[in-house]
Amino acid sequence: MSSPVSELIELLSLERLEDNLFRGQSRDIGTKYVFGGQVLGQALSAAQATLDSARDAHSLHAYFLKAGDIEAPIVYQADRTRDGGSFSVRRVTAIQHGQPIFFLAASFQEAQQGGEHQLSMPEVPKPEDIDPAPAVPAEVMATLPTKVQRWLSRQGPFEFRHVYPRDELNPPKRPPYQQVWFRLSEPVGDAPELHRALLAYASDFHLLGTATFPHGISYYQPNVQMASLDHALWFHRPFRADDWLLYSIDSPSAQGARGLARGQIFDRHGRLVASSAQEGLIRVVADQNKDVRVVADRNKDARVVEDQPKDAAGVSDAAAARNAPAKD
């Protein structure tokens, strides 16, 4: 009988159609469209499969162009952009129904020696000292939107333990920072390229959601639309995705229906093993008659610093005074 972990490994293992052409399957994990981490992990797997030398991925930059269809496979076209003396670059296009849905640029490097430094890991409780999130009671689940029921009822391959949990069903306003321990729920093999693809998959969890914290909203609410626009990931040091990793995330800004989030990923020994960044769409589709800007301070509660009524065209008084055009 397969497990969520074995199913994920199968998902990240692509079928080679030609030298630089691959096909991956899609999987419904409770989201309406293909999960962004799936496309990121599969595209990295495609890029890694085109390397002829022992070079490790150190940098990924990706753009999500359109939502993926969970009922259809995805074709990955890899371009061997450059193979230099120490570095290789690959560009991967994900295609569904004849249209590109995603672009990835990835850089790979031969192992080299150099100076080292890193930021310190935040002081947080050990994962063993944090209780897993409790299950949502059935009577509460029945009252939730369908998209939330699908998301909460899934059995995923990763275990997450939040250092400071937030009630996503009734989210309070709080500064945009969080730390989350995570790991695969069972051990896997030692291949570094597998662990990098697994981390690419996992890095899309909890990142953009941090940008909603100052606004007291969450993906669980039916009037909130969220979607990844881009994603960057840097691999710094070796790691294992089946051992505990700490995802320390902050969001420096949200504006124009977009939020920016940054992540640092540490192993349990305090080594910084990876960093991430993502900008995404965060749109509240109801109660759009206000233009609200929220600024958060690390040592203070989030506070609203601008709250201006909009006119019938959806333009704030301040924007009209500046002759600024209305925005979607």
DSSP annotation string for 195-260: HHHHHHHHTTSSTGGGGGGGGT--TTSTTEEEEE-EEEEEE-S---TTS-EEEEEEEEEEETTEEE
- Tell me what percent of the residues of the chain surpass a pLDDT of 90: 72
Of 204, 242, 250, 267, the active-site residue reads 204
Mean pLDDT to the nearest integer, 221-232: 92
Centre a 10 Å sphere on the Cβ of residue 300 and count the other Cβ atoms it contains.
9
Rg (CA), the chain: 21
Per-residue pLDDT at 308: 37
Answer yes or no: is pLDDT of 321 > 90: no
Per-residue pLDDT at 287: 54
Answer yes or no: is pLDDT of 214 > 90: yes
Answer yes or no: is pLDDT of 114 > 80: yes
Contact 107, 57 (CB under 8 A): yes
Dihedral, CA atoms, 200, 201, 202, 207, nearest 10 degrees?
Answer: 80
Mean pLDDT to the nearest integer, 131-137: 78
> pLDDT higher for 326 or 190?
190
**What is the spatial distance between Cα 196 and Cα 236, in angstroms, rounded to a whole number?**
11
Answer yes or no: is pLDDT of 246 > 80: yes
Structure tokens of 67?
């939502």
- At the topology level of CATH, where does 4-110+133-286 sit? Porin (2.40.160)
Rounded alpha-carbon distances, angstroms, from residue 4 to 134, 144, 203: 19, 24, 17
Least confident of 33-47, 139-153, 166-180, 235-249: 139-153
Of 45, 96, 264, 278, the active-site residue reads 278
Per-residue pLDDT at 198: 98
Per-residue pLDDT at 290: 44
pLDDT-based confidence at residue 140 (cuts at 50, 70, 90): confident
* Helix (H) / strand (E) containing 182: strand 177-184
Per-residue pLDDT at 288: 44
User: SS3 for 302?
Assistant: strand
Per-residue pLDDT at 173: 95
Report the chain's mean pLDDT, rounded to a whole number: 87
**What is the spatial distance between Cα 321 and Cα 316, in angstroms, rounded to a whole number?**
9
Q: What's the pLDDT tens digit per position in 73-105?
A: 999 999 999 999 999 999 999 999 999 999 999
- Known active-site residue 275: no
pLDDT-based confidence at residue 109 (cuts at 50, 70, 90): very high
Per-residue pLDDT at 200: 98
Interhelix angle for 192-202 vs 4-12, to 10°?
A: 100
pLDDT-based confidence at residue 275 (cuts at 50, 70, 90): very high
Q: What's the pLDDT tens digit per position in 291-300?
A: 444 444 433 4
**What is the spatial distance between Cα 44 and Cα 38, in angstroms, rounded to a whole number?**
10
Contact 162, 205 (CB under 8 A): no
* Helix (H) / strand (E) containing 294: strand 290-297
Answer yes or no: is pLDDT of 108 > 70: yes
- Known active-site residue 278: yes
Sequential DSSP letters for 3-63 = -HHHHHHHHHSPEEEETTEEEE----SSSSS--HHHHHHHHHHHHHTT--S--EEEEEEEE
Per-residue pLDDT at 289: 44
Surface-to-core class of residue 175, CB atoms within 10 Å of its CB (0-12 exposed, 13-18 middle, 19+ buried)? buried
Answer yes or no: is pLDDT of 185 > 80: yes
Per-residue pLDDT at 157: 94
Contact 261, 249 (CB under 8 A): yes
pLDDT-based confidence at residue 1 (cuts at 50, 70, 90): low
Answer yes or no: is pLDDT of 170 > 90: no
- Known active-site residue 204: yes
Closest CA to 118 of 231, 7, 234: 234
Answer yes or no: is pLDDT of 284 > 60: yes
**What is the spatial distance between Cα 94 and Cα 100, in angstroms, rounded to a whole number?**
6
Of 228, 248, 264, 316, the active-site residue reads 228
287 backbone φψ class: left, alpha, beta (φ>0; ψ -120 to 50):
left
Considering 12-16, 306-310, 321-325, the range whose residues carry the highest mean pLDDT is 12-16
User: SS3 for 79?
Assistant: strand
Contact 62, 40 (CB under 8 A): yes
